[in-house]
Amino acid sequence: MKNHFRWLNVIGLAAVLIVNGLAEWLPINGQTTGELSAKYPVLITPAPYAFSIWSVIYLLLIGFVAYQLRQQAASSKIVQSIGPWFLISCLFNCAWILAWHYEKLTASVFIMLALLLSLIAIYTAVRRDKPSPARGERFLVWLPFSIYLGWICTATIVNIAVVLYAAGRNGPLMTDIAWTVILIAAASLLALVIGFKYQDAAIILVFIWSFIAIAVKQGQQPEVSLAAWIGAAVLAAAAAVLLMKASKRNSAAY
């Protein structure tokens, strides 16, 4: 079956890379993405180094786009199952950058949620249609969207927290701390549910990356830092279990 979206996917990813590059190099509206984040010091914001994961995400997405251009891959069931959703996710990615840089914070949350939903559509589709993919599909289709979805899950939580902060709905410090601890616990539970449902250690590792960065950034708030370290430790144990199970499955296959 012909894949009508493969060249549109190339254009979509190129647009994402250009818009995100301009956001830092111009920068758009005179502020970089990181400078804007620093304006809203919510307690669930990770350390700046955490955002370097975007380099990994974009490299993996370049790998996916190159892979789906191959004739054999383009007609495969797992690539076909993505349909228009990757292109849609690219449009929302670009739209979010513009909304964020022009500080349209409420709009940015809705756009982020739309991006999240488009990635969920991709993530569930590629696993539903082929639960045991070939090695190439595992690393060039499954992995990119595991990492991407994991990061957008955590980014959505931060985005919502920023909007509430900007709206002045931040109470006393202990209230902020309590809500942040609750959000970390909820994010940990979400990571465990997704990870074990889809036997996906990669998405759990992204949450671990985020939690460690939160612990580092929020070192002056011991309750938040401790909650983030505990969340990271629990998820690390879960990821280890999933990796061991995957290793056993792979050994049994040979």
In a domain, 212, yes or no: yes
Quick one: pLDDT at residue 251?
Answer: 64
Q: Which residue range is the domain that position 150 belongs to?
A: 6-253
In a domain, 200, yes or no: yes
Count of domains for the chain: 1
User: Where does residue 29 fall: left (phi above 0), alpha (psi -120 to 50 degrees), or beta otherwise?
Assistant: left
In a domain, 140, yes or no: yes
Quick one: pLDDT at residue 166?
Answer: 87
Shortest CA distance to 220 belongs to which of 43, 50, 49, 48?
43
Quick one: pLDDT at residue 131?
Answer: 64
Quick one: pLDDT at residue 174?
Answer: 45
Read off the pLDDT of each residue in 198-215 and give the average, rounded to a whole number.
98
- The pTM score is 0.94
Phi, psi of 75 (to 5 degrees): -95, 0
Chain segment 4-55, per-residue pLDDT in tens? 799 999 999 999 999 999 999 999 999 988 888 888 989 999 999 999 999 9
In a domain, 1, yes or no: no
Is 181 a residue whose pLDDT tops 90? yes
In a domain, 13, yes or no: yes
The mean pLDDT of the chain is: 92
Chain segment 59-92, per-residue pLDDT in tens? 999 999 999 999 887 778 889 999 999 999 999 9
- The contacts of residue 86 (CB under 8 Å, 6+ apart) are 5, 9, 12, 64, 122
Read off the pLDDT of each residue in 133-149 and give the average, rounded to a whole number.
93
Task: Count the neighbouring beta carbons within 10 Å of the beta carbon of residue 14.
Answer: 13
In a domain, 193, yes or no: yes
Quick one: pLDDT at residue 175?
Answer: 66
